[in-house]
Structure 1
Amino acid sequence: MKVLITGATGLIGKELGKKLASDGHEITVISRSLSKAREVLPFPCDVVVGDLVQGPLHDKKLENIEAVINLVGEPVIGMRWTEEKKKNIFQSRVNATENLIKSLPGDLRVFVHGSAIGIYGHCGETILREDHQAGMDFLSEVSKEWERAASHAPGRKVFIRTSIVLAPHGGALEQMLFPFRAGVGGVLGDGKHWMSWIHIDDIVGLFAEALKNNDYVGPINGCSPHPVTNREFSEVLASSLNKKLGPAVPPIALKALFGEASEVVLSSIRGSAEKAMALGYEFQYPTLRNALENICSAYKEGEEVFYAEQFVPQPPEKLFPFFRDPHNLEAITPPSLNFNIQSVSTAEIEQGTLINYKLKIRGIPASWVTEIDEWKPPFRFVDNQKKGPYQLWHHTHEFKPFLGGTLMIDRVRYKLPLGYLGWLTASKMVRKDVEEIFKFRRGYIARMDTPRKP
């Protein structure tokens, strides 16, 4: 089918788009930034540039759309809700969905809407099935209006009420990891409130199934079969990281920090997955322990992990030669780092090549020697720090053939100097620096080509 995805650059959108493209669907996305879409989307697609909050879009690429995955909406956690923020939360969901529907053809086959399990509000111990009434708090009202707007879409309509999505990279868990890895993560309040959650692979699976299965109609809870209390969640997360549980965080502290937004993490929402299972969906990660063991295994040795994907509409054999020339490393490194190669042990990069270079990290000069300790052109190579500022820097570059182009994957494992003290004081700053380096690289690679479809 010809599928339109909104919110494609988000956590769910990127993984879902990749799966749908692999399944043979033709993907179109709506994005406010063409350059961002080209830099971060890990699948081939057409891009319609526009802002749905501002009004309907009139683009020929939308005329033949057969199905929609609607994931539009800005984040709701991690900051205080000012009146301006609440307005943006509402408009980026409700107004954007209304304008999206006005942009679509009338013969649309299916509209799969990414709603939120927060529609139920605080419900204590109650097991929440899809026929339970909506709550009365801000997010409940937004979610209710959001689904009302989506109900006017043509075709079969499905509302996936998404819970907390647990993923190896990004999402809510990324914000939780630092205190728990530091050994000070604890329960929130008395820890008795219920948390509905789902692994990224399962929420993607639900959306994909809803797209093709005509039995999926109306609201469906996007949560695992086994919700947990906040205390159980905290204990399993700490255990998955080989850490002990820290002191409890009093609700008054959360309210002082986040204000009204603290309701998101203090509300008790015990979602039921009975409808999804009755429809035949089989969860890959039904229990919290197997989900968190899958996600947290990389952190048990105290290593940091950075991961990025980018689709490039060139096959690996055409893309890979760019990386054979060590001096191209200078081109794809931000100028602020003053990256300068001093010597290379071979004319072209190959197995065992040593590269000696200098750079500045936040203005501080540093020398670095890296060795290519794996070289499998045109699909993979690994560079490993032999001498430099990190205890460990192990960068795996993968070039996977994908739908006529290349899914370029960067996976970096690194450790900071000074052990735990270095990690505690500098990990967030270094993480930001690493993200900026790879953002620059993705931008450079995206500008090397213009077409987005194979």
Structure 2
Amino acid sequence: MNILITGATGLIGSELYKHLLNHHSVTVLTRTPANAYLKLGHRIEAVRSLDKVDFNDTDVVINLAGEPIVNKRWTPEQKQRVYDSRIALTEEIAERINQAEKKPKTLISGSAIGYYGRQGEQVIGEDYEHCYDEFSHQLCKDWEQAAQKAQTRVCLLRTGIVLSARGGALTKMLPAFRCGLGGPLGDGNQYMSWIHLDDMVQVIMYLIKYEHISGPINATAPHPVSNEEFSKTLAQILRRPAFLRMPKAALRLLMGEMADLMLYGQNVQPKRMLKEGFRFRHPELRPALAQILSRH
């Protein structure tokens, strides 16, 4: 199949493309083709614009692009950049799909568990309706609505915290924990719904293969943990203490509104993937972290 990926040089995309290249032709949308070839190799085709993509000859579109959410403080300008980088591109992709005479069979489009907003201990499946209306919810809601304009099968990836030693949240935590300076955030009771990068890639591969699946998909491991448990588990694997707790006030002072992403969580379950028979390679946190850290 001919597959188009946006965000291919990001954490998920840079692992996913390796699996796709075994059996498919891969085109990558990127602002800097030279960098994409340097990072991903020359078996891909890198293009700067959707004008260079023939959607009549594209079977699957995987849309993972977007300004990183947690890299910068949430000023009004940064929130607008985060919003525009997702919505505008997704709307353009949907429009290109709809204009094609022979439409791509599938659009797999990014979203996040931030769709549900801050939650307590309530177990959340894809049909959960009592979302907390805040920036993360509105962002993901509009992002998904933009993707659903495409007149084809649409899968919406509500992704949790992707664990990898090559990027993402874990790499930001590791320096402090390796120095014995890590610990829970706030009261530590907030849930962390996570997924191993390997399973994240396999979820996408599964959705490509099984064409009867559509709509929202919780891309999270089946056993989320509290922030307290996550911190203790990571520290134990690294053989370091984890007694330094970051107070809520200090985190908000450092990060502003964005601190709420870390102080409030969601107990998200991958109900649809489990119902469809998907088997997670890394369902439990401790062996997942141990495998990641031993590999790198």
- The partner residue of 1:205 within 202, 206, 223 is 202
Instruction: Tell me how far 1:59 sits from its aligned partner.
Output: 2.1
SS at structure 1 position matched to 2:142:
helix
SS at structure 2 position matched to 1:283:
coil
C-alpha deviations, 1:85-132, integer Å up to 9, x for none? 101100011111001222333521011112101100111111111011
Instruction: Tell me how far 1:255 sits from its aligned partner.
Output: 0.4
Number of the residue aligned with 2:46: 47
2:84 is aligned with 1:98: no
| Cα contact 1:222–1:273 (8 A) shared by 2 | yes
- The partner residue of 1:132 within 120, 128, 131 is 128
> What TM-score comes out, normalization by structure 1 length?
0.63
C-alpha deviations, 1:117-165, integer Å up to 9, x for none? 1100111111111011233110110000000000011221111110000
Instruction: Tell me how far 1:274 sits from its aligned partner.
Output: 2.0
Distance verdict in 2 for CA 1:127–1:43, change over 3 Å? farther
Number of the residue aligned with 1:80: 73
C-alpha separation in 1, matches of 2:132 and 2:217: 17
SS at structure 2 position matched to 1:98:
helix
| Cα contact 1:90–1:142 (8 A) shared by 2 | yes
| Cα contact 2:193–2:225 (8 A) shared by 1 | yes
Distance verdict in 2 for CA 1:148–1:210, change over 3 Å? same
Number of the residue aligned with 1:409: none
Number of the residue aligned with 1:218: 215
C-alpha separation in 1, matches of 2:52 and 2:4: 12
C-alpha deviations, 1:27-52, integer Å up to 9, x for none? 111001111111111572111113xx
SS at structure 1 position matched to 2:261:
helix
Number of the residue aligned with 2:114: 118
2:259 is aligned with 1:287: no
After the TM superposition, which segments of 4 or more aligned residues of structure 1 sit over 4 Å from their partners? none
2:240 is aligned with 1:247: no
Instruction: Tell me how far 1:61 sits from its aligned partner.
Output: 4.1
Letter in 2 for 1:19: H
| RMSD, aligned CA | 1.3
- The partner residue of 1:276 within 253, 273, 277 is 273
C-alpha separation in 2, matches of 1:43 and 1:71: 20
Distance verdict in 2 for CA 1:42–1:114, change over 3 Å? farther
Which has a greater percent of strand? 1
| Cα contact 2:126–2:271 (8 A) shared by 1 | no
Instruction: Tell me how far 1:211 sits from its aligned partner.
Output: 1.1
Letter in 2 for 1:69: I
Number of the residue aligned with 1:5: 5
C-alpha deviations, 1:194-228, integer Å up to 9, x for none? 01000000000001111110232111100000000
Question: How many residues get paired?
Answer: 292
Number of the residue aligned with 1:28: 27
| Cα contact 1:163–1:197 (8 A) shared by 2 | yes
Q: From the CA coordinates, give the structure whose radius of gyration is larger.
A: 1
2:176 is aligned with 1:179: yes
Higher relative CO (CA 8 A, sep ≥ 6), structure 1 or 2? 2
Counting aligned pairs with the same residue, the percent is 40
- Structure 2 unaligned regions, length at least 5: none
2:53 is aligned with 1:37: no
Letter in 2 for 1:272: Q
Letter in 1 for 2:120: G
